[in-house]
Structure 1
């Protein structure tokens, strides 16, 4: 036995029994790798064929870009006449606030007759200040009037007697003149005393704090026993006639579109009730910091309208004709708002637009569209400018679209 015979014998011993008995050559590693690769490639091609079969088409050729283009839903919105509405925030307040305080010299409060939330009439007493000292002064002055009247009566009697005696020559003309002057002085003192009494009574009346006009009491800032004076802050705050208003903060651009007399709907925060009002004044100046002005909306009294509370106003700003798009069609980035318009050659083109008010139907486009374009309705964020797409009108059936496309090809 030589070396070659020994090698062949060892190789024969390493061959599996089933291959040795079958009489076939064993499979090499390279052949096995090629076979597995072919199976994987076949499975991949089968998966691709199944995908296009379920997608309703077949793999497109290298030159058929339209078949590979994504299908997008488009709309041709046209133009719509909409009622212009500006929605702005603001605060509620009394339209005409009347602070009521002490008019006279003041003193200790002995009674308060109303409370916040009460309705009062013009001249109604709101609070009473102690006037015991002033009453005594008035009584003393009334007594002075009686003294002055007595002096005047005595002077008149002396003058009458002198006039009777002057004819007999017992009284001179000079005496008559003197008695007449005395009588006139006494009468004048009576008038002075009466005027002083009227002044004291007027001062006493001012010790009663009264309502200057009818209205609704918003604040009560005084209690019995409190000492008040003319320098004390307002004891009561009254909304004249109960009239309220909303101070709506409006941007300068929107403020230019408003006018006095337009209607507005006010919804206070915390309630779903709405109240109708009217813009009665527009701010003549613009805040240089916020770039806003104030639109004052007059409102009738209602318990839900509490001064100092927040509210939202929807102010009518006329009508305008514009294109209205659903929110899904309007996109925005750092360059501003835009939409995708599908051209006649099915290219998606980005177009910048100017948005206006938000309506229940969608967003009003005030500039950038004529309304006759085909606008991508959804998924515009996944498109690139200039990309080829397959437009499909909103509501159209996919099969109908496929039929139209096939007819166009034929």
Structure 2
């Protein structure tokens, strides 16, 4: 039999073996275990406590919206760009806003001139009033005119400030150092007040909020610690765990806020999922989120929808069907079919190849 035919025969044998039973299975008499690389199955994350899934969110995340109307003339940043506080991110046309500034300044000059004239008029009436050339009512009228002119001047100054601020709104700047998470406009688009333009978040201040049953809230409150497991398999210790004092009246669950430490390299983005493991006693099996065993994902043999591993037991290689749970990076949780402490082949293809070679050596396969 050629090598291709041998591989096809072994593949068919494996598929038939997996479909035939849910426990240990071998084709014929199991040959002695060859020298293959193995590992010992260990308990999953649930052995360390109880876990709930959550979503990473940024403590400081700002949706920058237009505060004035105009046409977008330039967008200086894009998604994933790092920015510093005060950096220019986007510009709008400033023609209308600048016209408002010019008009406000002209009104201010007129109001200042009127205030100066009103002050002079009042001083003249005050001098004449001392010599009894004008009545007290005329002096009061001059004083009121002066005060009104001063008030108009102050209002014109405020208008100049407001017009200048409206012109400044045409330049959008970063509120703090961070990363651009979203870009919603392009040059040439016309925007109005309130329209979202960009989203910026600070990657050095992240947290996860999970909701736990009331029965677990007190245990977490007594021991406010947690370990966060990301999808790529990385684990970090929580910087702070805060259990909310009240439960949600609809779901009867208690929110728990988990602050992440500063992650210098490869910080998770807001919206990414992560598992939060609290070091508390596990409850009923239905409440547990992980299986009891965690193995490398590469050790799983797949044939269609069936999954199995090669277990080395009593000097023999046994094919064991397993049921998988959640995958965490390079590891996967086994819900059924494997117990902690069992020895498993690390490379299923190598295990199959060496198993076939051992059978050939024993005369189990014929050309």
Task: Give the structure 2 partner of residue 135 of structure 1.
Answer: 98
Task: Give the structure 1 partner of residue 268 of structure 2.
Answer: 305
C-alpha displacement of 1:85:
1.1
| 1:58-207 to 2 correspondences below 5 Å | 85-86=48-49, 88=51, 90-96=53-59, 98-102=61-65, 104-122=67-85, 124-166=87-129, 170-207=133-170
C-alpha displacement of 1:311:
3.4
Of 237, 245, 249, which aligns to 1:276?
A: 237
Name which structure has the greater RCO, CA cutoff 8 Å, separation 6+.
2
Alpha-carbon distance between aligned partners in 1 of 2:93 and 2:158, rounded to the nearest angstrom: 23
Distance 1:85 1:180, change over 3 A: same
Q: Which runs of 5+ in 1 are unaligned?
A: 1-82, 320-325, 328-357, 365-376, 378-410
Alpha-carbon distance between aligned partners in 1 of 2:222 and 2:199, rounded to the nearest angstrom: 28
C-alpha displacement of 1:133:
0.9
Contact 1:152-1:186 at 8 Å conserved across structures: yes
Distance 1:254 1:135, change over 3 A: same
Three-state SS of the structure 2 residue aligned to 1:116 is coil
Contact 1:138-1:197 at 8 Å conserved across structures: yes
Three-state SS of the structure 2 residue aligned to 1:235 is strand
Q: Which runs of 5+ in 2 are unaligned?
A: 1-45, 283-291, 294-334, 343-367
C-alpha displacement of 1:212:
4.3
Alpha-carbon distance between aligned partners in 1 of 2:74 and 2:128, rounded to the nearest angstrom: 62
2:226 matches 1:264: yes
C-alpha displacement of 1:195:
1.7
Distance 1:293 1:171, change over 3 A: closer
Give the alignment's TM-score, normalised by structure 2.
0.52
- Deviation string 1:337-359 (CA, Å, 9 cap, x unpaired) is xxxxxxxxxxxxxxxxxxxxx9x
Contact 2:211-2:256 at 8 Å conserved across structures: yes
C-alpha displacement of 1:88:
3.4
Contact 1:216-1:240 at 8 Å conserved across structures: yes
Of 195, 198, 212, which aligns to 1:236?
A: 198
Distance 1:117 1:174, change over 3 A: same
Alpha-carbon distance between aligned partners in 2 of 1:105 and 1:121, rounded to the nearest angstrom: 23
The structure having more radius of gyration, on CA atoms, is 1
Alpha-carbon distance between aligned partners in 2 of 1:277 and 1:166, rounded to the nearest angstrom: 79
C-alpha displacement of 1:223:
2.5
- Deviation string 1:245-275 (CA, Å, 9 cap, x unpaired) is 3455767766664337644333322x34332
- Deviation string 1:212-270 (CA, Å, 9 cap, x unpaired) is 455443222232222222342x333333463223455767766664337644333322x
Q: Say how many residue pairs are matched.
A: 244
Task: Give the structure 1 partner of residue 185 of structure 2.
Answer: 222
Three-state SS of the structure 1 residue aligned to 2:220 is coil
| 1:343-358 to 2 correspondences below 5 Å | none
Alpha-carbon distance between aligned partners in 2 of 1:170 and 1:286, rounded to the nearest angstrom: 80
- Deviation string 1:1-57 (CA, Å, 9 cap, x unpaired) is xxxxxxxxxxxxxxxxxxxxxxxxxxxxxxxxxxxxxxxxxxxxxxxxxxxxxxxxx
- Deviation string 1:320-377 (CA, Å, 9 cap, x unpaired) is xxxxxx99xxxxxxxxxxxxxxxxxxxxxxxxxxxxxx9xxx669xxxxxxxxxxxx9
- Deviation string 1:116-149 (CA, Å, 9 cap, x unpaired) is 3344455554333322211111111111111121
How large is the RMSD of aligned CA atoms in angstroms? 4.3
